[in-house]
Amino acid sequence: MYEFEMTRPTTIADAAKALGDEDAQALGGGQTLIPTLKQRLAMPSALVSLGAIPEMKGVCMSDAGEVCVGGATPHAVVAAEATAYPGLAGLAAHIGDPAVRNRGTVGGSLANNDPSACYPAAALASGATIVTNTREIAADDYFQGMFSTALEDGEIITEVRFPVPEVSHYEKFVQPASRFALVGVMVAKFADGVRVAVTGASEDGVYRWTEAEAALSASFSADALADLAVSGDGMISDLHGSGDYRAHLVKVMTGRAVAKAA
């Protein structure tokens, strides 16, 4: 690791100021960034830890009935406290392993936008709002392809607001070596329709499977997917699975998520 200076501000305002420096980078739970630094794939001159900012931690309900999660809230806390949204709590409870869940944060996961990460599926399927220190971004506008998001340099995810569906479930086919999703599908049924978000599959990162959304909005059952076909074109192909295999899993995982939705 190259040497850097570390600061631990206690307010969002101070963190934003420290991140104004071009070579500074935010540190969430470090579960991705620290391995990246060890490989010398990143070379920030300063790291601004978001771990000591009380206003960025915790789970609460907004007046509009959304589950609001502070940007520096670890996965384990979401798993334990997002009881109003069982699909979200269940997703958080199955990220990585217990030690990773005690450190990794929702803000870090969404900022990183790993194509196999779980939280992007939750944010997109819920139609969440990503709140930063400067603005609010709709999930539909936020994800811009693998490892790419609408965030500007130095912008901090301070909170994520998840509208609570009537029923939902996240079904993950675990890649056992990394414990990320080989394919993961979040299904969320709202009064005005169903949203389906797929992670781990596409070379463009998380996406909405709109054909399944239409079919499930008409009839919320795994059988409604029977006539849909998923193409392997543009799907990730690696030693863990071909594009066609992932395409197949997308439909299987969606069906299972519908069957388990609660």
Ligand X SMILES: Cc1cc2nc3c(=O)[nH]c(=O)nc-3n(C[C@H](O)[C@H](O)[C@H](O)COP(=O)(O)OP(=O)(O)OC[C@H]3O[C@@H](n4cnc5c(N)ncnc54)[C@H](O)[C@@H]3O)c2cc1C
Binding site for other proteins (CB under 8 A): 1-6, 8, 27, 30-31, 34-35, 37-38, 47, 49, 51, 76, 96-100, 102-103, 179
d(CA 207, CA 147): 13
Output DSSP code: residue 5: E
Give whichever of 26 and 225 is closer to ligand X, judged by the CB atom: 26
**Which of residues 24, 26, 250, 257 is near ligand X by CB under 6 A?**
26
**Which of residues 30, 58, 86, 145 is near ligand X by CB under 6 A?**
30
Order of strands across the sheet that contains 181-190: 167-174, 181-190, 193-199, 207-208
Give whichever of 100 and 214 is closer to other proteins, judged by the CB atom: 100
Give whichever of 55 and 211 is closer to ligand X, judged by the CB atom: 55
Give whichever of 97 and 192 is closer to other proteins, judged by the CB atom: 97
Query: Closest Cα to residue 169, out of 81, 90, 96?
Result: 90
Residue 157 binds: one of ligand X, other proteins, none (C-beta under 5 to 8 A by kind): ligand X
Q: Which amino acid is at 174?
A: V
Query: Closest Cα to residue 168, out of 90, 262, 250, 251?
Result: 262
Query: Closest Cα to residue 126, out of 165, 93, 90, 89?
Result: 165
Output DSSP code: residue 193: E
d(CA 192, CA 7): 45
Q: Which stretch binds ligand X (CB under 6 A): 24-32, 80-88, 122-130, 202-210?
A: 24-32
Give whichever of 38 and 234 is closer to ligand X, judged by the CB atom: 38
Q: Cβ of 80: how many Cβ atoms within 10 Å?
A: 14
Give whichever of 47 and 82 is closer to other proteins, judged by the CB atom: 47
29 binds ligand X per the rule CB under 6 A: yes
How far is CA 137 from each of CA 126, 127, 159, 160, rounded to the nearest angstrom? 13, 10, 11, 10
Binding mask 49-78 for ligand X (x = CB under 6 A): -x--------------------xx--x---
Residue 50 binds: one of ligand X, other proteins, none (C-beta under 5 to 8 A by kind): ligand X
Report the interface residues with ligand X, using CB under 6 A.
25-33, 50, 71-72, 75, 95-96, 100, 104-105, 107-109, 111-112, 117-119, 156-157, 179-180
